[in-house]
Amino acid sequence: MTVGSKQAPRVLITGGAGFLGSHLVKSLLSGGNEVIVLDNGSTKNLEDVKSNPKLEIIQASVTDPFPSHILASRIYHLACHASPKQFGLRPLEILETCYTGTKNALEAARKWNARILLASTSEVYGNPEVCPQPETYNGNVNCFGPRACYDEGKRVVEALAFAYRKQYSVDLRIARIFNVYGPGMPASDGRVVCSFVDAAIHSRDLVITGDGAASRCFQYVSDCVEGLRLLMESSWSKGPVNIGSETETTMAKLAGIVVQRLAAQKLGRSSRIVYKDAVEDDPQRRRPDWGLARRVLGWEPRVSLETGIDRTVAWFLAAEDACR
Ligand SMILES: NC(=O)c1ccc[n+]([C@@H]2O[C@H](COP(=O)([O-])OP(=O)(O)OC[C@H]3O[C@@H](n4cnc5c(N)ncnc54)[C@H](O)[C@@H]3O)[C@@H](O)[C@H]2O)c1
C-alpha cells in the first residue's frame, strides 16, 4: 500500500467505529497517522487499537457541532447506519445524520481548511436502468419507500457537498461505494454476505429473497479501504468516483459459493438454500463502471470473492471462539 502521506496528516473519521470505518482507522494508524474517531455507537470494533496513543475516540453524534479541538487536515465522513435493518428502525435519524451530520462535517472542513471525503453509495443509483452504472448516471430512486431514508439521504449528502464546493470551494472527494463485506460486519445487520456466512456456520438455511437472480458486485473491505485512501490523496475532485468490484454475482451464486467454501471446512453441511418473497424496492442489479477509478486512482479490487469469504468465515469462527 503506497497511499500514506509523508507528513501523515491528522485525520478525523466520522463513523470510525463502524464496520468500514474501523478498518480504515487501523489502516491509517498503521501508516503513522494520528486518528480521531467521532462516533455515537459501540466502539467494540476498535477494542484492539484503543490503547494506541495516536488514536482518540470521541463518542458523540455528528448531528451536534464538532468539537473544535480536533483540527484535522483530512476528514473521512462515514457516519451513517448502512445496515438495511436500520432503515426500517430509525429512518428519521438516518435522514438527520445524512443532512445535519454532513453539513457539520462540511462546515468543519471549511473552517479547518481540511480535505473531506464523503462516503456515498451505489444506492444513489436506486434500481438502475443502465448497467454498469457510470458516475454520470443520475439514478432511479424511489423517494417514498422503505429504503428512501438511506438512498435519498445519501443523495442529499452529495447535493450538500456540491453546494459547499460551489459556495466555499471546499476541497472535496466523493466515493460511491458498492457492497463491501469482510471481518467485523455483524451477522445480525442484514447485509447478505455475513448473513449467509453466519447461517452456514450454524447450519441454518441460507434465505434468498426473490428468485436469486438479483446481483451485486462485492468488494472485500481491504480493497475498499485502499480505494478510499487513494481517492483522498488523489487530485481528482471533479465529482464522485465509483469504488466497487466489477464482478457481478447473483444471490443464488453467492449462496452456493458460501455453502461450498464452508463445506470444504466440514461446516454448514445441513444448510439449504431457500427462497422467500422479494423485498420491496430491493434493486435487481448493481454493477459499477469502474473506468474512472482505474484511470484516476490506478485502483482495482484484488481480493477474490472466494478468498474474501474464506477470511470472513475465519473471522466469524475466531469471534465465536473468543466468546466461549
Ligand atoms: N459497507 C458497505 O457496503 C457500504 C456501501 C456503500 C456505502 N457505505 C457507506 O460507508 C459508511 C460506513 O459504512 P459501514 O458499513 O461501516 O456502516 P456501519 O453501519 O457499520 O457503521 C456506521 C457507523 O456510523 C456511526 N453513526 C451512525 N450515525 C451516527 C451519528 N449520527 N453520529 C455519529 N456516528 C454515527 C455508527 O455508530 C457506526 O459506527 C456509511 O456512510 C455507508 O453509507 C458502506
Nearest by Cα to 240 from 277, 283, 200, 292: 292
Residue 5 pLDDT > 70, yes or no? no
pLDDT-derived band at 34, boundaries 50, 70, 90: very high
What's the average model confidence in pLDDT over 163-190?
95
**What is the pLDDT, as a whole number, of residue 187?**
86
Residue 16 to residue 46: CA distance in whole angstroms: 9
pLDDT digits (tens, 9 = 90+) for 222-271: 999 999 999 999 999 999 999 999 999 999 999 999 999 998 888 877 88
122 pLDDT higher than 70: yes
pLDDT digits (tens, 9 = 90+) for 39-73: 999 999 999 999 999 999 999 999 999 998 999 99
The residue whose CB lies within 8 Å of the most ligand 1 atoms, and thus the one to mutate among 78, 92, 312, is 78
Give the helix/strand (H/E) hosting 274: strand 273-276
Ligand 1: residue of 27, 80, 216 to mutate (most ligand atoms within 8 A of CB) is: 80
More confident residue, 160 or 323: 160
Q: How confident is the model at residue 6 (pLDDT cuts 50, 70, 90)?
A: low
* 303 φ, ψ (degrees, to nearest 5): -90, 125
pLDDT given for residue 306 in this prediction: 96
- The predicted-structure confidence for 268-316, as pLDDT tens digits, reads as follows 778 899 999 998 888 899 999 999 999 999 999 999 999 999 999 999 9
pLDDT at 15 over 90: yes
- What integer is the mean pLDDT of 134-162? 97
Output the CA angle 215-220-226, nearest 5 degrees: 125
Rounded Cα gap, residues 228 and 219, in angstroms: 13
- Confidence at residue 3, expressed as pLDDT on a 0 to 100 scale: 46
Active site residue 125: no
- Which residues share a beta bridge with 39? 59
Q: Which residues, other chains included, contact 78 with Cβ-Cβ below 8 Å and sequence gap of 6+?
A: 13, 14, 15, 16, 18, 20, 21, 24, 119
Q: What was the pLDDT predicted at 4?
A: 43
pLDDT above 80 for 324:
no
How much is the pLDDT for 213?
95
Q: How far apart are the first and last CA of the chain?
A: 35
Please give the number of the atom of ligand 1 that sits closest to the Cα of 123: 6
What does pLDDT average to over the chain?
94
- CATH fold of 11-177+220-246+287-302: Rossmann fold (3.40.50)
Ligand 1 site, CB within 6 A: 15, 17-21, 39-41, 61-63, 78-83, 97, 101, 119, 121, 177, 179-180
CA distances from 300 to 23, 224, 247, 266, 290 (A): 18, 9, 11, 33, 8
Can you tell me the distance from the alpha carbon of 179 to that of 196, in angstroms, rounded to the nearest whole number? 15
Amino acid at 185: M
Q: What percent of the chain has pLDDT over 90?
A: 88
DSSP 205: P
